[in-house]
Structure formats: structure tokens, C-alpha cells
């Protein structure tokens, strides 16, 4: 499962793996792929510690960092964090706060302890914090890829990465979005179909990937959305992709450190239980359907706010739900692949199976 792109990164496999857990990033890299750490949940100090940990255990292998620099957000570029927080907090309507509290009361979710920390990662969904994350990442010798998950990264950020010898990738859900990334000098286009977890568009992977490949050629394209097996990886490369971008498949691994409640929900979920909703961040994102998403998607209730206001509004509530272990309200961004989750395995086992299945699939193809 090697391509020109995997050769450029010095990888054994054209497998790119997104996850928030450093342990997943490390083990994917050890198995021959390229792990990408999702930085949005980290404060600058936490990100520094996570990168220290990765580089102490990765053996000099290349890895990447994913940041969120949305093209449209209520946050203002250039503001200091304290001023931005104060400004954004004033923009959240009291009616939305009351609605959140009413849902929590309905399910008997208790308040947090007074010393609990919440909402501290919400400001990573903006230009100011994301730039700090990029700068921290570019200081690391093993970081070889910076990825932006929402919209086109600012041209000066792309130039900054290129000056450091680091490639830039960006996720897209439509052909026109891909062309904007090319115009911004992004190196790798991740064509993410609607099957994917997290922020996603409306076009299926099977349609989107060849469309984007043709539109941006000769730039390399990674296929994303509903890819979690060797057969699916083989199909992605047959569509013209230079590799696969994966996310949901790692949520069911030992190294992802999921709670027993979430693992149980994964086992019970069907593919159709991964729904697109604005409940989590304010932008359409595929996630596990819960009573929480149903409440926000009900037209009789308030509409979700824009980014990052919706996450600011939700952050304390989601922490209360997690601590209380309210299963009917607990969810996570995840793709339609969840319907195929079975037993929890190590990252190494998952990669080995994908590689073996890919090899057998390609060998079994008829010679046309």
C-alpha cells in the first residue's frame, strides 16, 4: 500500500490517521503510517507536553498536527484570548443558556464541582489560538505535516509551513473548495465524503474523490470518509487517491482510551446512528445520535449558534454529562463506519489487518 505520496514522507503505508490521543499517533507511526494529532482540544501548554511525549516515543518518525482555522467564525483574528472570551460570552443568548439547563435538568445531570475546569479549549476554534498551535508544531523536527480541518488556511500560514519544510494539507467536501485550497498553495487535498465523522459535507466519498482528483491534478489527494478496512483503502486508491485519511476507525482502539460507556455505545450503534448535526460546534458535524443531538435538532427548540459560540455554550454541559455518565446524552464525533465496529483492538492489530486485507483485495482483482 505504497504510493508516490507515501514515498515522499518515507512511509511504509499510505495511511494517514487522525486522533486526539498521542498514543494513537505514536502507534500508527510505528506501524508504518503517519499519525496526525488533533490539536484543537489542547491548550498551548498541553500541546507542548503532547508533542514532547510523541517525540520521546516515536523514534524520529514523521507525524502531523491538525488545527482548526475556520473560514467563518464569530471569533476575531488578532484579539487576545481574554478579550475574545469576554466578547464571545456576551454574544450567547440567555434563552440558549436556559434551554441547555432545561435539558440537563430533564435528565438529572448535576452541576460540576466549583473547582472544575471547563470551556478552556473552546478558543482553539479560532485563528489566534490556531496560529499558536502551528508555531509550536513547526518548532518540532519530526512534524512534517500541518492539516487544517475547516476552510482554506491563511496564505501566510501556508508560507510559514513551507519555509519550515513542512507540507500543508486541508480537508474539503466539494470540488470548488478543493480548487480554493489549490489557489492557496496547499500541498495535499483531503477529499472527505459525507460518511466521515466530524465536520463533513453532503457528497459521498465514492463521488467526491475522483471528482477532486481530476480537478486538482497533479496535486495529491487523500480519500476520507467511511474508510476503515483494506478493501475500502483499495477502493480509494482505485479512485485515484494517493492514500487514505482515517479517523473514526481509531476510536475503537485500546490506545484511544475510551470509557466503557462509549465502547458499549459503539458496539450497539448502526451506521445510520452517525448523524450530521450542528449540536456540537455550530457547524454540521457527523456524530453519534443521542438525546442531546435530538434536542438540538428539534425545530421547536432554539437553533444552534455559530462557531465557536455553540461549543462555548455546550462545553460545561458536555463535561457535566460525561462526569455523570448519562449514557443517553453521551456522544462523540464519529462517522458511519461505527456500524462495523466490533471488538476493541490495538492500533498495531488494526493496521496489520488493514494491510493484509488490502494485499488480498488487490491480488484478487480480475485482470481487466
What residues does each domain of the chain span?
Answer: 4-74+123-256+340-361, 81-116+258-324
3-state helix/strand/coil string of 155-177: HHHHHHHHHCCCEEEEEECCHHH
Among candidate residues 178, 225, 173, the one with its CA nearest the CA of residue 338? 225
Task: State the pLDDT confidence band at 125, using cuts at 50, 70 and 90.
Answer: low
The whole-angstrom separation of Cα 239 and Cα 71 is 28
Give the model confidence (pLDDT) of 232-270 as tens digits. Answer: 999 999 999 999 999 999 999 999 999 999 999 999 999
Give the largest CA-CA distance in the chain. Answer: 67
- Check whether 120 has a pLDDT greater than 70: no
- All 3 cell numbers of residue 30? 510505528
- Dihedral angle sign, alpha carbons of residues 199, 204, 205, 209: negative
- Check whether 54 has a pLDDT greater than 70: yes
The overall average pLDDT reported for the chain is 92
Contact status, residue 241 vs residue 209, Cβ threshold 8 Å: yes
DSSP letters, 140-160, are -TTEEEEEE-SSPPPHHHHHH
Task: State the pLDDT confidence band at 74, using cuts at 50, 70 and 90.
Answer: low
The whole-angstrom separation of Cα 183 and Cα 203 is 22
The whole-angstrom separation of Cα 139 and Cα 136 is 5
- CATH class (in words) of the domain with range 4-74+123-256+340-361: alpha beta
**What pLDDT does 209 receive?**
98
**What pLDDT does 241 receive?**
98
Task: Select the more confidently predicted residue: 212 or 119.
Answer: 212
**What pLDDT does 126 receive?**
64
**What pLDDT does 88 receive?**
84
Task: State the pLDDT confidence band at 191, using cuts at 50, 70 and 90.
Answer: very high
DSSP-derived letter for residue 305 is P
The region of weakest confidence among 15-19, 333-337, 363-367 is 363-367
For cell 494529532, what's the residue? 37
Task: State the pLDDT confidence band at 89, using cuts at 50, 70 and 90.
Answer: confident
The whole-angstrom separation of Cα 233 and Cα 25 is 19
- Check whether 83 has a pLDDT greater than 60: yes
Compute φ and ψ for 245, nearest 5 degrees. -105, 120
The whole-angstrom separation of Cα 298 and Cα 295 is 5
**What pLDDT does 130 receive?**
81
In the predicted model, what is the mean pLDDT of residues 81-109? Answer: 90
Task: State the pLDDT confidence band at 183, using cuts at 50, 70 and 90.
Answer: very high
Q: What is the pTM of this model?
A: 0.92
CA 62 → CA 6, 102, 138, 171, 227, distances in Å?
Answer: 11, 47, 12, 20, 22
Task: State the pLDDT confidence band at 121, using cuts at 50, 70 and 90.
Answer: very low
Q: Is 221 helix (H, G, I), strand (E, B) or coil?
A: strand
**What pLDDT does 252 receive?**
97
- Check whether 69 has a pLDDT greater than 90: no
Give the model confidence (pLDDT) of 283-340 as tens digits. Answer: 999 999 999 999 999 999 999 998 889 988 998 999 999 999 999 999 999 999 999 9
Contact status, residue 35 vs residue 26, Cβ threshold 8 Å: yes
**What pLDDT does 73 receive?**
53
Q: In what order do the strands lie in the sheet with 198-199?
A: 198-199, 285-288, 274-277
In the predicted model, what is the mean pLDDT of residues 57-81? Answer: 77
**What pLDDT does 71 receive?**
57
Task: Name, of 116-125, 142-151, 238-247, 315-324, the range with top average pLDDT.
Answer: 238-247
Amino acid at each position: 500500500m505504497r504510493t508516490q505520496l507515501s514515498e515522499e514522507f518515507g512511509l511504509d503505508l499510505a495511511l494517514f490517521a487522525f486522533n486526539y490521543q498521542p498514543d494513537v499517533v505514536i502507534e500508527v507511526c510505528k506501524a508504518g503510517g503517519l499519525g496526525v494529532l488533533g490539536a484543537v482540544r489542547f491548550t498551548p501548554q498541553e500541546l507542548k507536553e503532547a508533542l514532547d511525549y510523541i517525540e520521546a516515543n516515536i523514534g524520529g518518525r514523521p507525524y502531523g498536527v491538525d488545527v482548526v482555522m475556520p473560514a467563518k467564525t464569530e471569533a476575531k483574528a488578532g484579539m487576545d484570548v481574554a478579550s475574545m472570551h469576554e466578547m464571545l460570552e456576551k454574544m450567547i443568548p440567555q434563552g440558549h443558556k436556559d434551554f441547555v439547563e432545561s435539558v440537563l435538568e430533564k435528565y438529572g445531570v448535576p452541576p460540576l464541582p466549583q473547582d472544575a475546569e471547563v470551556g478552556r479549549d473552546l478558543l482553539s476554534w479560532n485563528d489566534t489560538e490556531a496560529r499558536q498551535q502551528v508555531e509550536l508544531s513547526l518548532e518540532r523536527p519530526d512534524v512534517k505535516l500541518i492539516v487544517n480541518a475547516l476552510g482554506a488556511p491563511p496564505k501566510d500560514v501556508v508560507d510559514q509551513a513551507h519555509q519550515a519544510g513542512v507540507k500543508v494539507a486541508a480537508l474539503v467536501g466539494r470540488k470548488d473548495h478543493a480548487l480554493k485550497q489549490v489557489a492557496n498553495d496547499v500541498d495535499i487535498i483531503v477529499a472527505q465524503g459525507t460518511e466521515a465523522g466530524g465536520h463533513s459535507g453532503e457528497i459521498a466519498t465514492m463521488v467526491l474523490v475522483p471528482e477532486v482528483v481530476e480537478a486538482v491534478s497533479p496535486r495529491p489527494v487523500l480519500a476520507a470518509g467511511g474508510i476503515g478496512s483494506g478493501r475500502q483503502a483499495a477502493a480509494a486508491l482505485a479512485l485515484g487517491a494517493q492514500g487514505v485519511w482515517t479517523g473514526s476507525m481509531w476510536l475503537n482502539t485500546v490506545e484511544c482510551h475510551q470509557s466503557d460507556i462509549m465502547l458499549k455505545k459503539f458496539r450497539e450503534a448502526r451506521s445510520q446512528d452517525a448523524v450530521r448535526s450542528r449540536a456540537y460546534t455550530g457547524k454540521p458535524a457527523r456524530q453519534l445520535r443521542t438525546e442531546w443531538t435530538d434536542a438540538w435538532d428539534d425545530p421547536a427548540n432554539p437553533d444552534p449558534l455559530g462557531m465557536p459560540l455553540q461549543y462555548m455554550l455546550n462545553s460545561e454541559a458536555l463535561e457535566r454529562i460525561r462526569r455523570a455518565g448519562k449514557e443517553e446524552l453521551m456522544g462523540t464525533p464519529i462517522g458511519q463506519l461505527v456500524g462495523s465496529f466490533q471488538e476493541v483492538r490495538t492500533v498495531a492489530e488494526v493496521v496489520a489487518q488493514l494491510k493484509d486485507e488490502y494485499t488480498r483485495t488487490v491480488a484478487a482483482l480480475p485482470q481487466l
